């Protein structure tokens, strides 16, 4: 395996549980962290619970780690305080811990909600200005910018994954464009971990879908090659799910319903 020790944060979350057994195959030791219960350690796993807002615990968490897959944090719209604690302060703690422990590569789970207010007729690449649809999207834009600063100043490489919708199968019309299969998620994370010169990069996380709003031409150096597509689900979704009203956000915006969620304060 190419890595001695990988760290996966958010390992108890939705995608953390998907990646846990898959990343295990690519390292000698897989350190797993979350504030939620992680169950028991399998062979080659190390459990190290930590809250992102706990600076000292984060510093310990990144000790003797080759690279980090950072899925930890709030993954949907929420009140400001938890977003600030996990996605703003927590990401800062992560990068400070990387700097102090000499960690050289981070794969950062960003989100399509950084660009959620683009319209579905617009196709954008990684240079499109952010148009966050939620406080959550703003917090992910912060992580993208903080990681850029840590690359420019300290050479810590980050691949920001603007993940679409990673579920076992596409569930609705919007997800025909945004879907990222779990196998493609694994391919994407592995490409981001192993690309020789990742620098600071932004990659959209989607499968090889026929309808697509996100263009990865600026991320060719990461070498991500999706193998799956939402297309086999199209006929059934289009036959069984009503066409939304013309002013329905799920039909207008990249971010779908997120453009209307909240405020939750
Ligand atoms: C996200 O960022 C969320 O974490 C996920 O739960 C989905 O809602 C996804 O975006 C999406 O846009 O489908």
pLDDT of residue 190: 98
Question: Ligand 1 pocket check: which of 78, 110, 113 to mutate, most ligand atoms within 8 Å of Cβ?
Answer: 113
Residue 112, ligand 1, Cβ within 6 A: yes
Give me the catalytic one of 92, 136, 204, 253: 136
pLDDT of residue 156: 99
User: Do residues 72 and 10 touch, judged by C-beta distance below 8 A?
Assistant: yes
| Predicted-assembly ipTM surpassing the 0.90 threshold | yes
Point out the ligand 1 atom lying closest to the alpha carbon of residue 14: 6
Asked whether residue 23 is domain-assigned, the answer is yes
Structure tokens at 116: 């959620």
Which strands sit side by side in the sheet containing 67-70, from one edge to the other? 45-47, 27-33, 3-9, 67-70, 105-111, 157-163, 200-205
Asked whether residue 87 is domain-assigned, the answer is yes
Point out the ligand 1 atom lying closest to the alpha carbon of residue 116: 12
Query: How many other CB atoms sit within 10 Å of the CB of residue 14?
Result: 11
DSSP state of 102: T
Number of domains observed in the structure of the chain: 1
Question: What's the 106 CA to ligand 1 centre distance in angstroms?
Answer: 21
pTM of the prediction?
0.98
pLDDT of residue 7: 98
Asked whether residue 233 is domain-assigned, the answer is yes
Asked whether residue 265 is domain-assigned, the answer is no
Of 208, 195, 204, the residue nearest 161 (C-alpha)? 204
Answer yes or no: 136 catalytic: yes
Residue 176, ligand 1, Cβ within 6 A: no
| The three-state (H, E, C) secondary structure of 168-226, written as one string | CCCCCCCHHHHECCHHHHHHHHHHHHHCCCCCEEEEEECCCCCCCCECCHHHHHHCCCC
| The three-state (H, E, C) secondary structure of 106-158, written as one string | EEEEEEHHHHCCCECCCCECCCCCCCCCCHHHHHHHHHHHHHHHHHHHHCCEE
Domain of residue 38: give its range: 3-260
Question: What's the 235 CA to ligand 1 centre distance in angstroms?
Answer: 23
The residue with tokens 């811990």 is: 97
pLDDT of residue 2: 85
Q: Whose CA is nearest to atom 13 of ligand 1?
A: 165
Residue 111, ligand 1, Cβ within 6 A: yes
pLDDT of residue 78: 98
Query: How many other CB atoms sit within 10 Å of the CB of residue 75?
Result: 20
Q: What is the pLDDT along the chain (265 residues), one digit of tens a residue?
A: 789 999 999 999 999 999 999 999 999 999 999 999 999 999 999 999 999 999 999 999 999 999 999 999 999 999 999 999 999 999 999 999 999 999 999 999 999 999 999 999 999 999 999 999 999 999 999 999 999 999 999 999 999 999 999 999 999 999 999 999 999 999 999 999 999 999 999 999 999 999 999 999 999 999 999 999 999 999 999 999 999 999 999 999 999 999 999 999 8
Residue 75, ligand 1, Cβ within 6 A: yes
Of 53, 35, 64, the residue nearest 94 (C-alpha)? 53
Asked whether residue 80 is domain-assigned, the answer is yes
Q: The domain spanning residue 23 has which CATH number?
A: 3.40.50.720
pLDDT of residue 176: 98
The Cα–Cα gap between 220 and 238 comes to 32
């Amino acid at each position: 395996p190419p890595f001695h020790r990988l760290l996966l944060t958010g390992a108890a979350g939705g995608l953390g549980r998907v990646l846990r057994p898959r990343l295990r195959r690519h390292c000698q030791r897989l350190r797993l962290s979350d504030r939620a219960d992680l169950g028991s350690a399998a062979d080659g796993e190390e459990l190290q619970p930590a809250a992102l807002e706990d600076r000292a615990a984060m510093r310990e968490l990144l000790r003797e780690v080759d690279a980090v897959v950072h899925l930890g944090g709030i993954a949907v719209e929420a009140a400001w305080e938890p977003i600030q604690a996990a996605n703003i302060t927590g990401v800062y703690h992560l990068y400070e811990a990387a700097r102090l422990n000499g960690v050289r590569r981070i794969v950062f789970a960003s989100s399509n909600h950084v660009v959620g207010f683009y319209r579905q007729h617009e196709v954008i690449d990684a240079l499109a200005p952010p148009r966050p649809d939620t406080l959550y999207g703003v917090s992910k834009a912060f992580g993208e910018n903080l990681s850029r600063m840590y690359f420019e100043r300290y050479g810590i490489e980050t691949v920001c994954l603007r993940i679409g919708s990673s579920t076992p199968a596409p569930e609705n019309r919007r997800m025909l464009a945004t879907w990222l299969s779990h196998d493609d998620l694994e391919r994407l994370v592995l490409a981001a971990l192993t690309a020789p010169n990742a620098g600071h990069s932004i990659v959209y996380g989607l499968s090889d879908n026929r309808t697509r709003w996100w263009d990865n031409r600026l991320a060719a150096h990461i070498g991500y090659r999706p193998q799956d597509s939402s297309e086999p689900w199209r006929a059934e979704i289009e036959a069984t799910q009503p066409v939304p009203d013309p002013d329905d956000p799920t039909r207008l915006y990249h971010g779908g319903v997120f453009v209307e969620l909240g405020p939750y304060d």
